[in-house]
């Protein structure tokens, strides 16, 4: 009898944390990498759950038994974890989208590489932006902010308190809209530069039709695009920091209104 009480008192709350952390690892950058074996992710989730247990245990349910109620509770935890990871991944993918804009404008649209995280083919400049975002994610303690968002989710969502309705849908729409907006803003300097170059090339082709503008223009676009990307790196550091702050702000807002 005492063993059953002990299991219901400690094991079920631990499972709640474990399932929510595991849900996050399915989508969050770095942790969702296919290069990380599932068994490693499982042990890492268990370790994080063990560390967080003393912090969030006052907010966890202790009255749920090993029945259908437990299954519903764990399903809720998985949904919350996936939601947190998905929102962060959406903002992170703004860099991949910006890199694709870069590649298309600079003539690298068919030059793809294999992303080591997702094991998919992406534009070469998208991979550059992806690695840059991951480096800054760690530099700005994004993993610490992720843990803070996780603890916050336990504070604001009571037992069976999730309502997968308008707040969740609205939050995802906001995140997707901002992803495209931010990606275009990041890529705007390169797009503008290439547009000006193509405009000048069009004028030159009319003024001096004997010149091989296509060959010259292709090289100019690549050199100018790379120069603009290098020039924008300091500004991208600030943009990235604000981007991840915005991602966690939106995440907390959705959790608060669910």
Burial of 165 (0-12, 13-18, 19+ CB in 10 A): exposed
Tens digits of residue pLDDT in 52-96: 888 887 777 665 556 666 777 778 888 888 888 888 888 888 877
Q: Which sign does the torsion angle of CA 157, 169, 93, 177 carry?
A: negative
**Residue 113 three-state SS:** strand
pTM of the model: 0.75
Would you say residue 106 has pLDDT above 50?
Answer: yes
Q: How far apart are CA 22 and CA 9, in angstroms?
A: 21
156 and 253 Cβ atoms separated by less than 8 Å: no
Would you say residue 122 has pLDDT above 70?
Answer: no
Tens digits of residue pLDDT in 166-208: 566 677 777 788 888 888 888 888 888 888 888 888 788 777 7
109 or 77, higher pLDDT? 77
Q: Which sign does the torsion angle of CA 127, 128, 129, 132 carry?
A: positive
pLDDT band at 113 (very low <50, low <70, confident <90, very high): low
Burial 170-192 (b: 16+ CB within 10 A, else e): ebbebbeebbeebbeebbebbbe
149 and 248 Cβ atoms separated by less than 8 Å: yes
Tens digits of residue pLDDT in 20-58: 888 888 777 777 777 777 788 888 888 888 888 888 877
136 and 130 Cβ atoms separated by less than 8 Å: no
Q: Give me 249's structure tokens.
A: 């702000």
Q: Tell me the average pLDDT of the chain.
A: 75
pLDDT band at 126 (very low <50, low <70, confident <90, very high): low
Q: Give me 11's structure tokens.
A: 């094991």
Q: Give me 237's structure tokens.
A: 């550091």
pLDDT at 75: 80
Alpha helices in 119-209 (DSSP H): 124-139, 142-156, 166-207
Q: How far apart are CA 133 and CA 244, in angstroms?
A: 10
Q: How far apart are CA 186 and CA 112, in angstroms?
A: 20
pLDDT at 146: 81
247 or 168, higher pLDDT? 247
**Containing structural domain, residue 13:** 2-257
63 or 249, higher pLDDT? 249
In degrees, to the nearest 5, what angle opens at C-alpha 72 toward C-alphas 69 and 76? 140
pLDDT at 5: 58
Would you say residue 1 has pLDDT above 50?
Answer: no
156 and 256 Cβ atoms separated by less than 8 Å: yes
Q: Report CA Rg, the chain.
A: 23
Q: How many domains does the chain have?
A: 1
DSSP state letter for 21 = H
Kind and range of the H or E run holding 112: strand 112-114
């Amino acid at each position: 009898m005492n063993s059953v009480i002990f299991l219901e008192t400690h094991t079920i709350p631990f499972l709640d944390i474990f399932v929510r952390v595991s849900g996050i690892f399915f989508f969050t950058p770095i942790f969702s990498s296919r290069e990380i074996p599932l068994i490693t992710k499982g042990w890492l989730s268990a370790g994080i759950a063990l560390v967080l247990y003393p912090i969030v245990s006052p907010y966890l349910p202790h009255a749920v038994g090993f029945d259908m109620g437990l299954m519903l509770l764990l399903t809720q935890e998985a949904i919350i974890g996936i939601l947190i990871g998905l929102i962060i991944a959406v903002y992170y993918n703004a860099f991949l989208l910006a890199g694709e804009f870069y590649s298309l404008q600079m003539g690298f649209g068919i030059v793809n590489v294999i992303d080591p995280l997702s094991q998919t083919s992406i534009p070469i400049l998208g991979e550059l932006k992806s690695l840059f975002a991951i480096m800054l994610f760690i530099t700005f303690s994004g993993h610490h902010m992720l843990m803070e968002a996780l603890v916050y989710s336990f504070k604001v969502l009571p037992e069976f308190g999730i309502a997968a309705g308008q707040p969740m849908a609205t939050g995802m729409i906001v995140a997707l809209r901002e992803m495209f907006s931010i990606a275009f803003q990041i890529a705007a300097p390169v797009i503008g530069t290439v547009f000006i170059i193509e405009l000048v090339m069009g004028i030159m082709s009319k003024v001096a039709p004997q010149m091989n503008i296509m060959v010259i223009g292709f090289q100019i676009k690549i050199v100018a695009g790379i120069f603009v990307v290098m020039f924008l790196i300091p500004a991208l550091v600030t943009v990235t920091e604000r981007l991840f702050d915005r991602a966690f702000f939106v995440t907390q807002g959705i959790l608060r209104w669910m």
